[in-house]
Amino acid sequence: MQHLAFDIAHLLAGSIVLVSLMLLYQVRLYALLNVFALQAAVLALSVSWQAWLQDAPELYLTAAIALVVKAIVIPLALHRMIRRLGIHREVETALNIGPTMLAGLALVALAIAVVHRVSPDANMIAREDIAFALAVVLLGLLMMVTRRNAVSQVVGFMSLENGLILAASGAKGMPYVVEISVAFSILVAFIVIGIFLFRIRERFDTVDLHALDQITGSER
Amino acid sequence: MTAAFNSLIHPFAANAVMLILVIPAASAALLFAVRDYRRSARLNAFAAFLMLLAALALLVEQPPPGDYLHVDDLNIVFIILNSLVGFTTSLFSASYIAHELEIGRLTRAQLRFYHAMYQLLLFAMALSLLANNIGLMWVAIELATLTTVVMVGIYRTHEALEAAWKYFILGSVGIALALFGTILVYLAALPTVGEGAAAMIWTVLMSNAGRLDPAMLNLAFIFLLLGYGTKVGLAPLHAWLPDAHAEGPTPISAVLSGLLLNVALHAVLRFKLVLAANPGAIAPGPLMVTLGLGSLIFAAFMLYRRRDIKRLFAYSSIENMGIIVFAFGMGGPLANFAGLLQMTMHSLTKSAIFFTVGQISQAKGTQRLAELHGLTLTQPVLGWGLVVGVAAIAGMPPFGIFTSEFLVVSSTFARQPLLAIPLVIGMLVGFGALMLRLHDVAFGNPGGPDHPVKSSYIPMTLHLGLVLMAGIYLPGPLVVWFQHVAEMLH
């Protein structure tokens, strides 16, 4: 029974890594958002499983936040935004898909190699989860570095954050996981609002202030 | 007499920790409601003054550590420095902001927001310094980041929004990495300390440091160093820093450079202490030495190519943070002492420089170095203030930074002579760049418009006076205190 419980936890955490790799090769923004929503949904499942496993009811709340905010609300908001702002529907990459995937695989290997040096008497479930979580964090960083559009960068940041929630939920009895997920939701909300208000299309280059004036109705 | 004094001060001192947090938090709420900007500027300064008094009361009596907050010799240095510079900056800000309102760069509504955010930032920084819980510390640094992001973007110009956005994204990544490190620290403590909040309390971590899982701690420290290091402004994670300093209001540049960088550094030092007390973990020193030295040399060379005066001093902050992190990375009583002194002197000097630069850019209507010439002739007080400030920050005697840089170099020579060579080269390159720029700005042929400046010179003079005093004579109690903290830092 114990083994089965661990296996399911690993399966779910592993799927999140897999979806992270899927995020890397999406070339269309809408598809990217759908894959991200899928990742958030798998995260919600994984966190609920941990909640049941650790008998920690507050983790269900974290799972609910992941499901409602990250799998539904934010992807929908970004969908609307892409339509309203007329953003390019394609993901502009600084690095081609092939090399990015190779780098991604190397990062996953690195994450597992690094975490496996941790002494085996540490809680097994935590150790495997940390390896997966580290892989998700690194893949999120990779995505932020190799993508040009603001939207795909935000998706990279949010998938990085999924890795953090995965790590926090896997750490047995860790306090404040709910608070942390709320704090991050606020951060992400700020970022999304920022993109919308300032019409940020590209990483650091295009902040269309003229558009901002149109929104706020002020004159300069 | 002393008994009467003690009984008078006791209730105040016992609650000083709460006061340090409550004063700025309550003032932030209050300032959102105050419409008149003159009144809110005065209130802002008054609240910062009360906070300084509360911080000084910690010297009289230190409460025992709690689960969430604690005071020890290390964070007292940071808190007092923070509230002092917070107070003087609020004084400077009051006069600076009036001018910005006059020329229409800010509206009244924005000013209301600005003052509330200023107090919120002071609150977040104090909370992070006082936090005994590593989760709380992380939340406080996130809050400090968010408040500074909106302050950097407050002018709503194209450049300001870009700078704020860049700061926001890079700051968020740094924060995310730091959180991962925090989770790993919890996991490292889990087998020894047990489940629950205890494994996130710094004093508990410290007393069990020897028995924490070393491999997990190593991994955690790398993430914490990179995450909080982003906020310290260490190269190559510094990209947000020059833009954020250059585009925001000048009082915010002063607070960012003088205080927020220190707050992030304080977080790194806390975790360094945990690692240093664990025999199985990697030595945190070499990592910090590498990052510090890299930042110093990188920033020193970058100083030559700056076109914007605030950007110039932003790079100088990276350079100084590099020296400070290097000194703490070297460790040992002497290098730690030098690091603490350098940090204090840098905060005081850099904020004084930003006060001067803010007034200069108001007087001249530009921040471009190419358009600033001969200030000692047209604006004698500002011009000579800048000369003194830059001489101090570049490490010329008889200022305090000369003392601390001398101590860093001599302790490095004594222990790792090879490391001292790049250190000295970096310092000299930076020195050269600052002198070169200063020569044009301060002396050269005067030109351009000259608007009268009404700002107060008191904060600048006070800071530079303290730095000069530290260079000539360090008071005995201060030396003993810093030595004590230096020993605590290993």
In B279-425 the beta strands, taken as DSSP E runs, fall at none
The yes-or-no verdict on residue B92 having pLDDT over 80 is yes
What's the pLDDT at B429?
A: 95
Question: What does the pLDDT look like over B273-315, one tens digit per residue?
Answer: 999 999 888 899 999 999 999 999 999 999 988 889 999 999 9
Q: Which domain holds residue A141?
A: 2-216
Q: For residue A186, give the chain B residue with the closest CA.
A: B146
Q: Closest CB to A167: pick one of B135, B173, B180.
A: B180
Q: Is A137 on the interface with B (CB under 8 A)?
A: yes
Q: Are residues B179 and A164, on separate chains, in Cβ contact within 8 Å? A: yes
Q: What is the largest CA-CA distance in chain B?
A: 69
Q: Tell me the C-alpha distance between A115 and B215, whole Å.
A: 8
Q: Tell me the C-alpha distance between B394 and A108, whole Å.
A: 45
Q: Are residues B197 and A175, on separate chains, in Cβ contact within 8 Å? A: yes
Q: Closest CB to B169: pick one of A117, A153, A205.
A: A153
Residues in chain A: 220
What's the pLDDT at A217?
A: 37
Q: Give the range among A141-155, B47-61, B124-138, B406-420 with minimum mean pLDDT.
A: A141-155
Q: Between A17 and B441, whose confidence is greater? A: A17
What's the pLDDT at B4?
A: 61
Across all residues in chain A, what is the average pLDDT?
82
Share of chain B above pLDDT 70, in %: 97
Q: Provide ipTM, 2 decimals.
A: 0.88
Q: Between B279 and A128, whose confidence is greater? A: B279
Q: Give the range among A116-130, A163-177, B254-268 with minimum mean pLDDT.
A: A116-130
Q: CA A140: distance to chain centroid?
A: 7
The two structure tokens encoding residue B209: 């440091």
The yes-or-no verdict on residue A148 having pLDDT over 80 is no
The yes-or-no verdict on residue A31 having pLDDT over 70 is yes
What's the pLDDT at B287?
A: 94
Mean pLDDT of A23-48: 93
What's the pLDDT at B446?
A: 82
Q: How many CB atoms lie within 10 A of CB A174?
A: 26
Question: Considering only CB atoms, which chain A residues are within 8 Å of B180?
Answer: 133-134, 137, 163-164, 167
Question: How sure is the predictor about A51, in pLDDT bands with cuts at 50, 70 and 90?
Answer: very high
The yes-or-no verdict on residue A220 having pLDDT over 80 is no
Question: How sure is the predictor about A207, in pLDDT bands with cuts at 50, 70 and 90?
Answer: very low
The yes-or-no verdict on residue B447 having pLDDT over 70 is yes
Q: Are residues B219 and A167, on separate chains, in Cβ contact within 8 Å? A: no
* Domain total of chain A: 1
Question: Considering only CB atoms, which chain B residues are within 8 Å of A185?
Answer: none
Residues in chain B: 490
Predicted TM-score (pTM) of the model is 0.92
The yes-or-no verdict on residue B452 having pLDDT over 80 is no
The dihedral built from the CA positions of residue B45, B51, B52 and B54, taken in this order, carries a sign that is positive
Q: Angle A58-65/A177-198 helices, nearest 10 degrees?
A: 20
Q: Closest CB to B165: pick one of A141, A168, A207.
A: A207
Q: Is A160 on the interface with B (CB under 8 A)?
A: yes
Bridge partners (DSSP) listed for residue A90: A28
The yes-or-no verdict on residue A180 having pLDDT over 50 is yes
C-alpha angle with apex A115: A109 to A117, nearest 5 degrees? Answer: 110
Question: Considering only CB atoms, which chain B residues are within 8 Å of A178?
Answer: none
Peptide bond into B191 cis (omega under 30): no
Q: Tell me the C-alpha distance between B37 and B34, whole Å.
A: 8
What's the pLDDT at B7?
A: 62
DSSP one-letter code for B131: B
Question: What does the pLDDT look like over B387-431, one tens digit per residue?
Answer: 999 999 999 888 999 999 999 999 999 999 999 999 999 999 999
Question: How sure is the predictor about A125, in pLDDT bands with cuts at 50, 70 and 90?
Answer: low
Which amino acid belongs to residue B441?
A: V
Question: What does the pLDDT look like over B454-488, one tens digit per residue?
Answer: 777 889 999 999 999 999 998 888 899 999 999 88
| Helix, strand, coil in percent for chain B, rounding step 5 | 80, 0, 15
Q: Give the range among A150-154, A211-215, B129-133 with minimum mean pLDDT.
A: A211-215
Q: Between B290 and A205, whose confidence is greater? A: B290
What's the pLDDT at A213?
A: 42
DSSP chain A: -HHHHHHHHHHHHHHHHHHHHHHHT--BHHHHHHHHHHHHHHHHHHHHHHHHHHT-THHHHHHHHIIIIIIIIHHHHHHHHHHHHT--SBPPBSS-HHHHHHHHHHHHHHHHHHHTTS-TTS-HHHHHHHHHHHHHHHHHHHHHHHB-BHHHHHHHHHHHHHHHHHHHHHSTT-TTHHHHHHHHHHHHHHHHHHHHHHT--BSSS---HHHHHHHHT---
What's the pLDDT at B373?
A: 85
Q: Closest CB to A183: pick one of B139, B169, B196.
A: B139
Beta-carbon contacts of residue B256 (< 8 Å; ≥ 6 apart): B148, B241, B244, B245, B248
Q: CA A25: distance to chain centroid?
A: 15
